[in-house]
């Protein structure tokens, strides 16, 4: 999902509505959104990959961002 797609979804909600995240793909438990981190997503497969914080890229010239896309990670409370 892109930021544009997320914005379009969020336009249907009140600004005071709580954002929660599923703690797993099966929806076994849920947690409120606590924080976010900007950086880069480097896919390993179509459904899995690695994330590099943009602050780490600024501090380390050896990080390979080949195939990476700018991304944001949404972190749950738990």
Number of structural domains in the chain = 1
Over 1-66, what HEC string results? Answer: CCHHHHHHHHCCCCCCCCCEEECCCCCCCEEEEEEEEEEEEEECCCCCEEEEEHHHHHHCCCCCCC
pLDDT at 68 over 90: yes
Chain mean pLDDT for the chain:
90
Mean pLDDT of 60-75: 87
Q: What is the pTM of this model?
A: 0.75
List the domain range (segments joined by +) for residue 47: 3-76
pLDDT tens per residue, range 6-22: 999 999 999 999 999 88
pLDDT value of position 14? 95
Confidence of residue 60 (pLDDT cuts 50, 70, 90): low
């Amino acid at each position: 999902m892109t930021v544009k797609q997320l914005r379009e979804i969020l336009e249907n909600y009140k600004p005071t509505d709580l954002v929660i995240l599923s703690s797993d793909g099966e929806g076994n438990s849920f947690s409120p959104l606590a924080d976010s981190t900007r950086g880069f997503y480097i896919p390993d497969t179509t459904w899995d990959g690695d994330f590099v914080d943009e602050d780490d890229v600024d501090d380390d010239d050896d990080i390979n961002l080949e195939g990476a896309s700018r991304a944001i990670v949404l972190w749950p409370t738990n």
